[in-house]
């Protein structure tokens, strides 16, 4: 079976016809049987499609080309989708929205022209662009599937033609073997006729020699007549043999012509075998292209899945960015509240320091007034002090000392709490600064808010530095207050020692009659303790019944009023 094509190899006017050819097989010719174990061929369903594909080149995904030997070659055309597939072959990152896909307006309202809303809009636009790309890839996958189906039909048609050519080659080999056998039979008959003719010639020569050797007698004529009749019969047989020989020659010529035709058919069978090999190569090429198409389809599917994963990741990043912005806003509010509380506590500490300074000034003024009053009241003798006034001042100074101690301890605790609060705020500020200033440029929304956060953090750091300076400035005053308290303690201890040396034991008033340490009213006179004299010779009653004088050393007055 041979396929003949019209004058036009391509286009609607091309014609195809199938003509059966019988070729005698040649035992020496070896045909190549194609391996079709990996291909599923349905000849009855695809012969019409293969003929349409070969005759009509206007297919959506492939073109039919004609080679030099008349075979059809199906190659995919380079369409827009294939160019897109080539461009997407090594695409690992998503395209930019501004460069590849058109901008789509967002339907979400802008919140105070915030960068977060702009970033969310950009992410939505990018997601839509990725969706469009996924749809384009789906259409490309459909096109590739159609191309694969077309190639499968072409493979089926090529397999059918290979089967037909194989059948023709086998038929030609069988015919060639039959003709060779007939030619051998004719050659044997011709050789037999030649041997019979040679034997008849030799018999004629023998008879002629016998005739020449026979004696001339009465029976000579009879012998001659018998020999002539025998000669006639031999000549007739020779003529018959010559006719047979001519028939054999004509038969041999006919067989030679048939052999030439068989040789031509053998050459045609060889050409068919070559074409069969070429068809096998084309089948292998189509199989390779089919595998490439399958790989390309898998690649495009992976790219589509990667794009979908990137869209999901972008959406997750947008949600995480929004949550991070809200969390940072909450942290900023908490930090601002704590900083305000720290400032208020700093103001309270400053008020306490001022109050302590005022109390210290009051104590010094009271001591000065007591000294002046002692000097103005006069003493009966140098070194004699009214014990009632002296003990009143000592008791008052002791109460002031206790109150100053309490305030000092409270101030120390407040300073420690303020220092701990300051350290905690500094740590939070450092954490926020580290979280809001990454080493690379942030791609999330809220750039203006982050800048505002940084500015506010810088302002808070300046305020914290000012607070530290205030605390450092208040440090000497606190140290001075501590020194004054220690001095008052030493004075009270010295007075108590002097009283013990004088033999007096002060009995303090009950707790209800004591002045409160936190009271700011200095006009209330302290309760005078009762004095139990241990040495009556040293106590002298004064004019007033409620005063008692005691003789003290001269240096005790100066130490008590300091």
Q: What are phi and psi of 17, to 5 degrees?
A: -140, 150
Number of domains in the chain: 2
pLDDT band at 437, cuts 50/70/90? low
With a cut of 60, say whether residue 425 has pLDDT above it. yes
Of 176, 207, 238, which residue is a domain's last? Answer: 176
pLDDT digits (tens, 9 = 90+) for 235-275: 888 888 888 888 888 888 888 888 888 888 888 888 888 88
Domain assignment of residue 462, yes or no: yes
Q: Is 79 helix (H, G, I), strand (E, B) or coil?
A: coil
Average pLDDT of the segment spanning 322-341: 83
Domain assignment of residue 372, yes or no: no
Domain assignment of residue 513, yes or no: yes
Domain assignment of residue 99, yes or no: yes
* pLDDT for 482: 66
Q: Where are the alpha helices (DSSP H) in 378-446?
A: 387-436
All residues at 6 or more sequence positions from 447 whose CB lies less than 8 Å from its CB, including other chains: 115
Q: Distance between CA 114 and CA 124 in Å, rounded? A: 16
Of 176, 197, 216, which residue is a domain's last? Answer: 176
- pTM of the predicted model, to two decimals? 0.25
Domain assignment of residue 520, yes or no: yes
Average pLDDT of the segment spanning 550-554: 39
Cβ atoms of 188 and 252 closer than 8 Å: no
Domain assignment of residue 446, yes or no: yes
pLDDT band at 370, cuts 50/70/90? confident
With a cut of 80, say whether residue 141 has pLDDT above it. yes
Q: Tell me which range, 247-251, 451-455, 556-560, is most confidently predicted by mean pLDDT.
A: 247-251
With a cut of 60, say whether residue 498 has pLDDT above it. yes
pLDDT band at 26, cuts 50/70/90? very low
Average pLDDT of the segment spanning 168-174: 81
* pLDDT for 326: 84
pLDDT digits (tens, 9 = 90+) for 527-541: 333 333 333 333 333
Q: Tell me which range, 224-228, 432-436, 496-500, is most confidently predicted by mean pLDDT.
A: 224-228
Q: Tell me which range, 24-38, 386-400, 437-451, 455-469, is most confidently predicted by mean pLDDT.
A: 386-400
Of 150, 176, 202, which residue is a domain's last? Answer: 176
* pLDDT for 462: 73
All residues at 6 or more sequence positions from 17 whose CB lies less than 8 Å from its CB, including other chains: 3, 4
The interaxial angle of helices 115-213 and 447-502, nearest 10 deg, is: 130
Domain of residue 492, residue span = 378-561
The pLDDT > 70 percentage for the chain reads 55
With a cut of 60, say whether residue 41 has pLDDT above it. no
* pLDDT for 383: 56
Domain assignment of residue 56, yes or no: yes
Q: What are phi and psi of 532, to 5 degrees?
A: -105, 100
**DSSP-assigned letter for residue 513:** G
The pLDDT > 90 percentage for the chain reads 0
With a cut of 60, say whether residue 57 has pLDDT above it. no
Q: How many CA atoms lie within 13 A of 343 on its CB side?
A: 13
Domain assignment of residue 150, yes or no: yes
């Amino acid at each position: 079976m041979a396929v003949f094509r019209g004058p036009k190899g391509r286009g609607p006017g091309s014609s195809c016809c199938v003509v059966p050819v019988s070729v005698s097989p040649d035992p020496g010719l070896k045909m190549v049987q194609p391996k079709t174990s990996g291909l599923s061929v349905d000849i009855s369903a695809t012969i019409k499609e293969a003929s349409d594909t070969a005759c009509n080149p206007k297919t959506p995904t492939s073109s039919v080309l004609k080679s030099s030997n008349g075979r059809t070659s199906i190659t995919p055309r380079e369409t827009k989708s294939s160019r897109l597939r080539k461009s997407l072959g090594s695409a690992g990152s998503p395209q930019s929205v501004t460069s590849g896909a058109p901008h789509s307006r967002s339907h979400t309202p802008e919140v105070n022209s915030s960068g977060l809303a702009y970033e969310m809009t950009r992410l939505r636009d990018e997601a839509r662009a990725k969706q469009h790309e996924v749809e384009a890839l789906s259409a490309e996958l459909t096109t590739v599937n159609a191309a694969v189906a077309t190639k499968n039909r072409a493979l089926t048609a090529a397999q059918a033609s290979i089967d037909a050519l194989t059948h023709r080659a086998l038929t030609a080999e069988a015919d060639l073997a039959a003709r060779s056998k007939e030619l051998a039979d004719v050659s044997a008959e011709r050789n037999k006729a030649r041997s019979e003719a040679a034997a008849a010639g030799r018999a004629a020569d023998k008879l002629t020699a016998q005739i020449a050797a026979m004696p001339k007698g009465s029976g000579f004529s009879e012998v001659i007549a018998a020999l002539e009749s025998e000669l006639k019969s031999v000549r007739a047989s020779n003529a018959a043999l010559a006719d047979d020989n001519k028939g054999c020659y004509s038969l041999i010529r006919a067989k030679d012509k048939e052999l030439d035709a068989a040789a031509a058919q053998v050459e045609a069978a060889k050409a068919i075998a070559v074409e069969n090999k070429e068809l096998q190569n084309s089948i292998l090429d189509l199989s390779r292209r089919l595998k490439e198409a399958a790989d390309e389809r898998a690649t495009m599917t992976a790219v589509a899945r990667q794009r979908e994963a990137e869209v999901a990741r972008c959406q997750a990043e947008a949600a995480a960015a929004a949550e991070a912005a809200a969390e940072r806003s909450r942290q900023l509010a908490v930090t601002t509240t704590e900083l305000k509380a720290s400032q208020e506590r700093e103001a309270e500490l400053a008020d306490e320091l001022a109050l302590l300074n005022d109390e210290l000034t009051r104590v010094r003024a009271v001591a000065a007034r007591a000294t002046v009053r002692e000097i103005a009241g006069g003493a009966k003798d140098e070194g004699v002090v009214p014990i009632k006034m002296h003990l009143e001042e000592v008791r008052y100074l002791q109460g002031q000392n206790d109150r100053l101690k309490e305030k000092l301890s409270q101030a120390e605790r407040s300073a420690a709490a303020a220092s701990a609060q300051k350290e905690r705020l500094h740590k939070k500020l450092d954490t926020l600064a580290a979280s809001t200033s990454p080493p690379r440029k942030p791609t999330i929304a809220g750039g203006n808010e982050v800048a505002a956060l940084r500015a506010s953090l810088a302002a808070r750091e300046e305020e914290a530095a000012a607070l530290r300076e205030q605390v450092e400035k208040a440090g000497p005053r606190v140290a001075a207050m501590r020194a004054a308290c220690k001095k008052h303690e030493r004075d009270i201890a010295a007075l108590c020692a002097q009283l013990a040396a004088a033999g007096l034991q002060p009995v303090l008033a009950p707790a209800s009659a004591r002045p409160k340490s936190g009271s700011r009213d200095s006009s209330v006179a302290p309760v005078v303790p009762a004095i139990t004299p241990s040495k009556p010779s040293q106590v002298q009653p004064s004019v007033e019944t409620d005063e008692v004088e005691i003789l003290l050393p001269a240096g005790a007055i100066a130490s008590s009023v300091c």
